[in-house]
Chains A and B, each alone.
Chain A
Amino acid sequence: MRLAKSYFADERKDDLNEIGQGRSRVDLPGHVTGKTTYFADRNFPGMLHLKMVRSPHHHARIRSIDTSEAEKHPGVVRVLTAKDVPHNTYTILILIQIGPEDEHVLAEEKVRWKGEAVVAVLAETERAAQEAAAKVKVDYEVLPAVLDMEAALKPGAPLVNEHHGQNYYMYDSGACRKVRFGDVEKGFAEADHILEQTYSSSPIEQAPMETTGCIAVPEGNDRFTCYTNTQAMFFTLDNTSIILQMPGSQLHLVGGTAGGGFGGKVDVIVEPIAILAAKLTGRPVSFIYSRHEEMQISSPRAAETITIKDGVMNDGRIVARYVTGYTDAGAYSRHSPYGAQKGAAHYPGPYTIPNVWADTYCVYTNRTPSSAMRGFGVTIADFALEVQMDKLARLIGMDPLEFRFINAYRDGDMKAHRQTTEGAALIECMQEASRAANWPVAEKYYALSSHPREG
């Protein structure tokens, strides 16, 4: 490994012990010997298996649920519906006051996406649970569904989620998250060229090798141990405490090793119902997504539609940027209001643009709820704005890397969301990348630095 020490030489401290060293990961011996313990590498006597009955419709009213045949199926121990869940309506980010509670552990009255959990079946074997789940009869009245954001926002569109009252998330700032900086209209009036482009992305599944799941074990003293592959231990602990109306002191969550997550294990989905099942049956309960559930049921990265309008000068300066971003939350909020909010602050990218206007909306549709995945809220934004940067450079006949040097932010620059830039290293990274990729730029760009601008 080579460390480029010429950059920020006056700020360097070279008493680093680990950086620059090749260190073996502490978990590698366990991985190569098969000794690493994943949550499912445990067997408990009397363990029950939980299988979920899921909505076959995108949007439907539940007229009735008949579990009588399923309950008679050999090996079935218990069947759970919404009325068994102490606090059935929840939302993950209520912990940080991002409400309203808008989702049900088990569906009540309506289902709002194809795959929504309706009834949980507990049986002695996985097979018995699966067979019994197929015997649960749910009578649905199918309702019109909205499957894309444009349709969801049209006047008269079917309402996806009554807890919101409209098909978008209402922020304290209104229907969208807003960034207002400078005067974009003045910027566009001054610009030599204006380029407006729309970028769209599809939902993306995280697809970890190990599917989402947990095993909940009653400890016989009103306490429950839950072995889980969650990526969000404290979200899980606190939301489970709310959903089960049970003090956190009765819940012992054991995690630590996940067979891949990529954000797909950040939501709180399997643990509350598994712990409830363990409480109601007095037996260990395993709830593990099938591969099909992992791909179809677990929240993907949100689909996004982003329109970027830029004003650019012939000398390469971007003088105005106007962005409208839409994030498809699916039927429930989960982490998407937060993801859409991150986008609002991020749209100028690592560039200093004097006039910025950004509106980002979190939209509800009858699709699989989306949530966290690797930089959600900014990853698709980065794709859109970097493609836009290349297009802008081409428009004015400039090298795309030199174009980025001209617009790169530097320490002391005020960002559009009113944070002063600190610790910038974009220019230095681009200088190094230019050399590594053998993509030379004019000599003056090698003389730039991220230090504050003169005057």
Chain B
Amino acid sequence: MAKVPVQFSLNGSEKAEFVDSGATLLAVLRGKAGDTSPKGGCHQGTCGACSVIIDGELRLSCLTLAETCDGAEITTTAGLAEAGVLHPLQRAFMDGFAAQCGFCTPGMLMAAKALLDRTPNPTREDVVEAISGNVCRCTGYEPIIQAILAAARANSHNAA
């Protein structure tokens, strides 16, 4: 099968891969780039576990062709903590018990980060809307919503 060269930045590191034409970004991140933080829960764009941020936009990596990501800047949950210091969202998810089995957590964190990057002081409705594409089968939605709101408050407190 024809291979396509793709270069992208993953959590600030430059990556260059030869990928199968038609390969998903999820498969390339997990199988080639060594980042297994995005999860494959449905491989059909319905569960949100594979969510990543591409050039500032929340994307489903299971529906994104890797070859379309040439030159892109990609952020995943593996890149959220900086120099070992947890992102406020990660801290809030831990403090608020907002993860149970943990499988949806990386996708939830990406959806939450995309929201807070754009809307630093979201309403509860904003949060619900932002994670509406992410399924949590353990049904821990309420702690997740509360954790995202808490992270936003912590951010604005630090900024003030």
Contact = CB atoms under 8 A, between A and B. Distances in A.
Nearest to B107: A209
A140 B68 CA distance: 44
Interface residues of A, number: 30
A29 B87 CA distance: 12
B36 A28 contact: no
Interface residues of B, number: 40
A33 B76 CA distance: 10
Interface stretch (A36-44, A51-59, A176-184, A307-315): A36-44
A259 B36 contact: no
Contacts of A36: 102
A31 B49 CA distance: 12
A29 B35 CA distance: 17
Interface string B12-40: 00000000000000000011000111111
Contact of B103 (A25, A28, A209, A290): A209
Given A32-B109, A33-B86, A209-B135, A259 B94 contact: no
A260 interface: yes
Interface in A201-252: 207-211
In this complex, the member of B44, B76, B89, B103 whose beta carbon has the largest number of chain A beta carbons within 10 angstroms is: B103
Nearest to B81: A33
Contacts of B40: 40
Given A209-B135, A210-B101, A260-B138, A28 B93 contact: yes
A209 B106 contact: no
Contacts of B102: 27-28, 30-31, 36, 257, 259
Nearest to A211: B41
B23 to A, nearest CB: 10
A209 B107 CA distance: 12
Interface in A288-324: 290-291
Interface in A13-69: 24-25, 27-38, 40-41, 43
A34 B94 contact: no
A27 B138 CA distance: 15
B42 interface: yes
Interface in A402-453: none
A33 B137 contact: no
A215 to B, nearest CB: 13
B154 interface: no
B78 A33 contact: yes
A258 interface: yes
Contacts of A209: 39, 41, 47, 49, 101, 103-104, 135-137
Contacts of B41: 209-211, 259, 291
In this complex, the member of A24, A31, A261 whose beta carbon has the largest number of chain B beta carbons within 10 angstroms is: A31
B42 A34 contact: no
Nearest to A37: B36
A32 B49 contact: no
A32 B47 contact: no
A406 to B, nearest CB: 34
Contacts of B36: 34, 37-38, 40-41
A207 B86 contact: no
B107 to A, nearest CB: 9
Contacts of A258: 101
Given A41-B36, A290-B43, A208 B109 contact: no
In this complex, the member of A208, A209, A257 whose beta carbon has the largest number of chain B beta carbons within 10 angstroms is: A209
Given A43-B31, A209-B137, A34 B103 contact: no
A29 B84 CA distance: 12
A212 B154 CA distance: 38
Contacts of A34: 35-38, 76-78, 80, 105-106
A258 B102 CA distance: 9
Contacts of A25: 97
A208 B39 CA distance: 13
B130 interface: no
Interface of A: 24-25, 27-38, 40-41, 43, 207-211, 257-262, 290-291
25 contacts: A31-B93, A31-B99, A31-B105, A32-B86, A32-B99, A32-B109, A33-B77, A34-B37, A34-B78, A34-B105, A35-B37, A43-B31, A208-B101, A208-B103, A209-B41, A209-B101, A209-B136, A209-B137, A210-B101, A257-B102, A259-B41, A259-B102, A261-B101, A291-B41, A291-B42
Interface of B: 30-31, 35-44, 46-47, 49, 76-78, 80-81, 86, 89-90, 93-95, 97, 99-106, 109, 135-138
Closest 8 CB pairs of A and B: A34-B37, A259-B103, A31-B102, A41-B36, A34-B77, A209-B103, A32-B90, A291-B42
Given A32-B77, A43-B30, 11 more contacts: A24-B94, A27-B102, A33-B81, A33-B86, A34-B77, A34-B80, A40-B36, A257-B102, A262-B137, A291-B43, A291-B44
